[in-house]
Amino acid sequence: MSDEIVKAPEGTIVIFVLGGPGSGKGTQCSKIVEDFGFVHLSAGDLLREEQQNPNSKDGDLIKTFMKEGKIVPMEITIKLLSKKIQGSKSNIFLIDGFPRKQDQAMHFDENVVEPSLILFFDCDKEVMKQRLLKRGETSGRIDDNIETIEKRFKVFQEDSLPVIKHYEEIGKVHRIPSNESADECCTIDNGLMDQLDWPYLDHSS
């Protein structure tokens, strides 16, 4: 992959989808994609894909960080996201699980594009833990075990919540309660788009 982080094309719209591990970000993104046709980019999925690429110079490093529940160096994650944005025909992206630290947010804002909206899936820790343990029974993911889960919660509290607070202070965050199951959890619809004065959709459809 290229070592360059490239500015997003003019007119690119990015929605960050944030929340703790197990808050339902990926599941809800699938529903949003189905309803609105946005492109979903999961930072975690991109990193796992890169980790499994035998030709990647970053694969071993990514594996080590993810196994320990740590945040992968931002240059790697932003390069992967930038490459996907550049290679897409779409101009509206849901980016799930990124940024996880304030310096990541600033670096992405300055070098790729500023987000138009942040969706924060707000979920209790115990609910998230049970979801992750259940998923770990079948997922085969190296980070779905109790020790790594606790480390991921600690990282989320210390590093990711300040990112959400930063975006809340500038009026870009929409909180979505997500303790309920995916089917019961309120996500986004045309009513919310109208409420947010969202200019990028045809509300007549």
Taking only the tens place, the pLDDT of each residue in 10-62 is: 999 999 999 998 998 888 888 888 888 889 999 989 999 999 999 999 999 99
Question: CB–CB of 182/31 below 8 Å?
Answer: yes
To the question of whether residue 71 is assigned a binding role by annotation, the answer is yes
To the question of whether residue 25 is assigned a binding role by annotation, the answer is yes
To the question of whether residue 21 is assigned a binding role by annotation, the answer is no
To the question of whether residue 110 is assigned a binding role by annotation, the answer is no
**b/e code 4-26 from CB counts within 10 Å (16+ = b):** ebeebeeebbbbbbbbbbbbbbb
105-147 pLDDT, tens digit per residue, is: 999 999 999 999 999 999 999 999 999 888 877 777 776 778 8
| Statement: 13-195 belongs to CATH 3.40.50.300 | yes
Q: Distance between alpha carbon 134 and the CA centroid of its chain, in Å? A: 21
pLDDT value, residue 69: 82
To the question of whether residue 171 is assigned a binding role by annotation, the answer is no
Q: What is the Cα–Cα distance from 17 to 187, expressed in whole angstroms?
A: 11
Q: What is the Cα–Cα distance from 204 to 170, expressed in whole angstroms?
A: 29
Q: What ranges do the domains of the chain cover?
A: 13-195
pTM attached to this predicted model = 0.81
To the question of whether residue 131 is assigned a binding role by annotation, the answer is no
Q: What is the Cα–Cα distance from 151 to 171, expressed in whole angstroms?
A: 30
The residue type found at 23 is S
To the question of whether residue 23 is assigned a binding role by annotation, the answer is yes
